[in-house]
Homo-oligomer: A and B are copies of this chain.
Amino acid sequence: MKHHAQIFKALSDPIRLRIVLLLQSEGELCVCDLMAVLKLPQSTVSRHLAYLKRSCWVDTRREGVWMHYTLSRGSCAICKGLLQILEQHAYDLPEVASDRSALAAFLKEKPSGCS
């Protein structure tokens, strides 16, 4: 029960919600991607990502200096269901659309070193 509550708590912050939706549409992102899109300081982004990891929402993959974050597929069946609901009901929000286009613009100009 506590575990389920924690899953919801992880989505109870607007920034974390934006991060989860960005990961859902893009697949894999590193901290610097999210800093650019969310326009937030690095410590803030890292802190929210750590929270999402503690709550079993994301997995990490290190590639050199970069830490790549993905939605943790494979664990937490309830998370998958919640993602479907989000997909249905959150993508029409203007903030989600602008985040996605900001991400696309950033990735286009990004040097290919950090893929």
Chain A interface, >50% SS class: helix
> In this complex, what residue of B is CB-closest to A96?
B1
Complex contact A78–B82 (CB within 8 A): no
Verify if A5 is at the interface (C-beta below 8 Å from B): yes
Chain A contact residue count (CB 8 A cutoff): 26
Verify if A65 is at the interface (C-beta below 8 Å from B): no
Verify if A18 is at the interface (C-beta below 8 Å from B): yes
Q: Which residues of B contact A2 (CB under 8 A)?
A: 14
Q: Contact residues of A with B, CB < 8 Å?
A: 1-2, 4-6, 8-9, 11-14, 16-18, 77-78, 81-82, 84-85, 88-90, 93, 95-96
Closest 3 pairs (CB-CB, A-B): A9-B12, A81-B85, A8-B11
Q: List 22 A-B contacts (CB under 8 A).
A: A1-B17, A1-B18, A1-B90, A1-B96, A2-B14, A4-B17, A4-B89, A4-B90, A5-B11, A5-B12, A5-B14, A5-B16, A5-B17, A8-B11, A8-B12, A9-B12, A12-B12, A78-B85, A78-B90, A81-B84, A82-B82, A85-B85
